[in-house]
Amino acid sequence: MQPVAISVDLPEASRELCKKAGYSYTFLSDPNAEVIRRYDLLHVGAGENGHDIARPAEFLLDASGVIRWVNLTGDLRVRMRPEEAIQQAGKLL
């Protein structure tokens, strides 16, 4: 399973983050929130200076691109745990 992170951060910001935190997986930049909007995940005005950002959300896709699991948290504090995604991937893929 390939993890792919998506946010409104610019590529440079993601690059910084990857370097600092040692992440090696793919980070995608959606600065105008086009994809975030298409997935209905826009959190209007929740970012710095009233920026529109993505709400936390996870989608597990199988090899054909069909969604097998969705996690839309209702609480900012309660995010997906990595083990949760790995467990779902083991079960569903």
Partner 1 sequence: MNERRHNWHLWLGFVVCAAGFVGYLPLARFPFTRDVPWVSFLLFAAGAFSLGIGLKRAFGRPEQFRGKILGPVLSLISLLVIGLFCFFIFYAAKQLPRSTGAPQVGQKAPDFSLLDANQQTVTLAALLTTPLPGSQKPPKGVLLIFYRGYW
Binding site residues, partner 1, CB under 8 A = 1-9, 11, 13-15, 17-18, 26-30, 34-36, 38-44, 46-49, 51, 53-70, 72-78, 80-81, 85, 89, 92-93
CB of 21 to partner 1, least distance (A): 11
Match 């200076």 to its residue by tokens: 49
> Nearer to partner 1 by C-beta: 22 or 49?
49
> Nearer to partner 1 by C-beta: 22 or 64?
64
- Quick check: helix, strand or coil at residue 77? coil
Q: Which of 52, 43, 48, 50 is nearest to 76 (CA)?
A: 43
CB of 84 to partner 1, least distance (A): 10
Name the burial class of residue 33, with classes exposed (0-12), middle (13-18) and buried (19+) by CB atoms within 10 angstroms of its CB: buried
